[in-house]
Amino acid sequence: MIYTLYGKVFEVDVLGGYAVIECGGVGYKITVSANTLTSLPMPEFDAAGNVTAEKNVRVYTHLAVREDGVELFGFYTKEELDAFKLLINVSGVGPKVALGVLSLFTPDKLYAAVAAEDAKAISRAQGVGAKTAARIVLELHDKVAKMAGVVPSSAAAPGTKARPVGGGKLADATDALAVLGYSRSEIAAAMKNVNMEDPLEDIIKSALAALMR
């Protein structure tokens, strides 16, 4: 796996959303967020359009392999790469949608929006609708809380009696999916083949996968 690239910035295409990093005579095209794009050192050109000065840079990368091809994504900071990996693990969020989110938010601001459950702000990112933004908040909220050292709101308080397996989780999962705009009948059908002994987050993900088929 290509983890980082270190070389000269040979080309930056703002409209195309990519840059070319030349390493050892090989130019690697990386798809980047707007935040990374504005952080990269720009090459200098003469009046004829020839490159006269290139600056070295190190970028973190993620290689996405699909049936129709391979694409290399680049990030100016490791924090942005980590945020990207979190996003692409959300149901229905692919690399392009994740880049849209990270073009609007820095990682810290994204985590703040998730912690505040501000799906409306996240929905303003390119390629992100209301349901996708709600899923991002739903699936990342506890992870962001753990990263910040905060006990998730869904965790039981010490000394409280555990809710029965199935019943409590079913209600919590149903409420969470209803927030995303699904009807109770759609949710009930999606829950039929879900293992209610799984953690709540896994139950919601399994139901979401069924709802999105």
pLDDT digits (tens, 9 = 90+) for 115-162: 888 999 999 999 999 999 999 999 998 888 777 554 444 444 444 443
Say what percent of the chain tops pLDDT 90. 44
Task: Record the pTM.
Answer: 0.69
Q: Say yes or no to pLDDT of 45 above 50.
A: yes
Tokens read off for 39? 């952080």
| Architecture of the structural domain at 1-76 | Beta Barrel (2.40)
Cα–Cα distance measured from residue 183 to residue 140, given in angstroms and rounded to the nearest whole number: 23
Please, what is the angle between helix 130-147 and helix 107-115, to 10°?
100
pLDDT band at 51 (very low <50, low <70, confident <90, very high): low
Give the DSSP per-residue string, 57-103: EEEEEEEEEETTEEEEEEESSHHHHHHHHHHHTSTT--HHHHHHHHH
Q: Would you state the pLDDT for residue 42?
A: 77
Task: Report the topology of domain 78-155.
Answer: DNA polymerase; domain 1 (1.10.150)
The domain segmentation of the chain, as residue ranges, is 1-76, 78-155, 167-211
